[in-house]
């Protein structure tokens, strides 16, 4: 039996990010904004690097270039250069985390400390989303991610001039 669970505020950290480290095959992440997110006491990118070392495929779609702190964390893990696949699309505003094509988060939270509920209660964002393994919802999330990933909309995109690396 499938489940659909409402996720709010700091529960993004507790219930969504905790699943990323348990991935067995794939992690697909779509976010408009990405910053130097930490999981426990380590940068999120250290977790991603450890997944890549285990042979887990990691794909990231984001809307804009990350900040300096994220780039510095990225440089500490050479496996991220060739191991983590990235697509930059200025039109992406969805927030998706799809793990092993079996569970998906769909919601408002960007991949940032404030978005994922890791900031203090007085500073973090108010976020909402769902976590589900419902086959119909999962398939829709996978299809949306994949369509952007393969560049389905690139040829006729009205924002192509803002795209640093359009898919041909």
Q: Say whether domain 4-162 belongs to CATH 3.30.1360.10.
A: no
The pLDDT profile of the chain, 168 residues, written as one tens digit per residue, is 899 999 998 888 889 998 999 999 999 999 998 887 888 788 899 999 999 999 999 999 999 888 888 888 899 999 999 999 999 999 999 999 999 999 999 999 878 777 777 777 888 889 899 999 999 999 999 999 999 999 999 888 888 888 877 776
Q: What pTM, to 2 d.p., does this model score?
A: 0.92
SS (H, E, C) the chain: CCCEEEEECCHHHHHHHHHHCCCCCEEEEEECCECCCEECCEEHHHHHHHHHHCCCEEEEEECCCCCHHHHHHHHCCCHHHHHEEEEECCCCCCEEEEECCCEEEEECCCECCCCCCCCCCCCCCCCEEEEECCHHHHHHHHHHHHHHHCCCCCCCCCCHHHCCCCCC
Identify the pLDDT of residue 130.
98
């Amino acid at each position: 039996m499938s489940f659909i669970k409402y996720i709010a505020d700091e529960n993004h950290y507790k219930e969504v990010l905790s699943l990323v480290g348990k991935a067995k095959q794939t992690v697909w992440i779509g976010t408009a904004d990405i910053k130097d997110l930490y999981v426990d006491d380590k940068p999120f990118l250290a977790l991603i690097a450890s997944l890549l070392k285990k042979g887990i495929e990691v794909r990231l779609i984001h809307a804009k270039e990350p900040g300096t702190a994220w780039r510095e964390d990225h440089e500490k893990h050479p496996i991220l250069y060739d191991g983590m696949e990235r697509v930059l699309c200025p039109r992406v505003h969805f927030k998706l985390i799809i793990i092993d094509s079996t569970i998906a988060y769909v919601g408002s939270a960007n991949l940032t400390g404030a978005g994922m509920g890791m900031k203090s209660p007085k500073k973090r964002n108010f976020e909402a989303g769902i976590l589900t393994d419902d086959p119909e919802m999962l398939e829709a999330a996978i299809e949306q991610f994949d369509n952007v990933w393969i560049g389905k909309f690139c040829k006729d995109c009205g924002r192509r001039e803002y795209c640093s690396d359009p898919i041909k």
